[in-house]
Amino acid sequence: MGAERSNGEYLIFLNNDTFQEPNWIEPLIEKIESNLQISSIQPKILNAKQKDQFDYAGGAGGFLDKYGFPFARGRIFNTVEKDEQQYNESCEIFWASGTCFLTRKSLFIKLGGFDEILFAHFEEIDFHWKSKLAGYTIWVEPKSVIYHIGGATLPYQSPKKTYLNHRNSFVLMLTNTTLPEFIKNIGPRIIFEKISFIKELLTGNFSHAWAHVKAGFWILFNILYILKKRQMTQLLATTIISNKFYPKSIVLKYFLFNKKKYSSL
């Protein structure tokens, strides 16, 4: 509603559990005005309780591996890095965190804004994925710094968070990838989902295991929504973005090869 009623050229989406360094907006404006092909800019996001650490939700810019799993500079799965100025350069990323990003209002409206069915997880990744398909780029500008408390909408250990993360991530893979990418990557993705489900069972996290099951059933019972969303997304596509994904599995890198930091990938 705010986006539709606003009169400005740009929109800033900002979580209400954040606070900001002085003059944090100016670097974002300066960056987006440097290139008309930039869709969105996010600041460097640090943890409000431990200000020398990156925040879980976005860090210094987000990426996706080819199987649709997200990670960020400064945070891979549950490993959060200390901010030692190692990610202080502005660079192109795959997605800007919904915790805070600036975007062009005209583009946000043109691409349909956020998919409200996704609710509180992956809606910003969906928007930025569509932005890339439409030929735009996403950037992080670490000269702008904000601090995020985190977990205010849903606690990090909430089964509903697990449900939304797995359901919405899978929805994006089903709707935003090209058909060849989907055929190539769907098998490994299903295997990763099964492994995650078994892990939750073996560790006694039965509510989280059930969240995996519910996510799968939701997909099965909402095929019409997925087909419609896929059709709309593919109509937006004007460019191939296969080379924008991390080309390997972040799951295997993290859990098998102990690659805990973005700089080690």
> In Å, what is the CA distance from 106 to each residue of 111, 113, 119, 232?
9, 10, 22, 18
Q: In this structure, are 80 and 132 located in the same domain?
A: yes
Q: In this structure, are 171 and 144 located in the same domain?
A: no
Q: pLDDT value at position 120?
A: 85
Q: Are 173 and 186 in contact (CB under 8 A)?
A: yes
Write out the two tokens for 198. Answer: 């078994």
Q: Compute the distance between CA of residue 195 and CA of residue 202 in angstroms, rounded to an integer.
A: 10
**Residue type at 220 in one-letter notation:** L
Q: pLDDT value at position 56?
A: 93
Question: How many structural domains compose the chain?
Answer: 2
Owning domain of residue 96: 2-148
Q: Are 168 and 115 in contact (CB under 8 A)?
A: no
Q: pLDDT value at position 206?
A: 97
**Residue among 48, 53, 51 nearest 72 (CA):** 53
- Taking the chain, what is the end-to-end CA distance rounded to the nearest angstrom? 40
Q: In this structure, are 144 and 164 located in the same domain?
A: no
Q: Compute the distance between CA of residue 99 and CA of residue 17 in angstroms, rounded to an integer.
A: 9
Q: In this structure, are 208 and 179 located in the same domain?
A: yes
CATH code of the domain containing 82: 3.90.550.10
* DSSP category for residue 127: H
- Helix axes 179-202 and 159-176, enclosed angle (nearest 10): 160
User: pLDDT tens digits, the chain, 265 residues: what are they?
Assistant: 899 999 999 999 999 999 999 999 999 999 999 999 999 999 999 999 999 999 999 999 999 999 999 999 999 999 999 999 999 999 999 999 999 999 999 999 999 999 999 988 999 999 999 999 999 999 999 999 999 998 777 777 899 999 999 999 999 999 999 999 999 999 999 999 999 999 999 999 999 999 999 999 999 999 999 999 999 999 989 999 999 999 999 999 999 999 999 999 9
Q: Compute the distance between CA of residue 238 and CA of residue 234 in angstroms, rounded to an integer.
A: 9
Matching residue, tokens 């996290």: 205
Q: Compute the distance between CA of residue 65 and CA of residue 265 in angstroms, rounded to an integer.
A: 12
What DSSP letter does each residue of 134-154 carry, written as one string? TT-EEEEEEEEEEEE---SSS
The answer as to whether 66 is a domain residue is yes
* DSSP category for residue 118: G
Q: Compute the distance between CA of residue 169 and CA of residue 236 in angstroms, rounded to an integer.
A: 20
Q: pLDDT value at position 154?
A: 74
Write out the two tokens for 131. Answer: 């932005």
Q: In this structure, are 33 and 143 located in the same domain?
A: yes
Q: In this structure, are 10 and 135 located in the same domain?
A: yes
- Judged by phi (left if over 0) then psi (alpha if -120 to 50, else beta), residue 44 lies in beta
Q: In this structure, are 41 and 101 located in the same domain?
A: yes
Q: In this structure, are 163 and 143 located in the same domain?
A: no
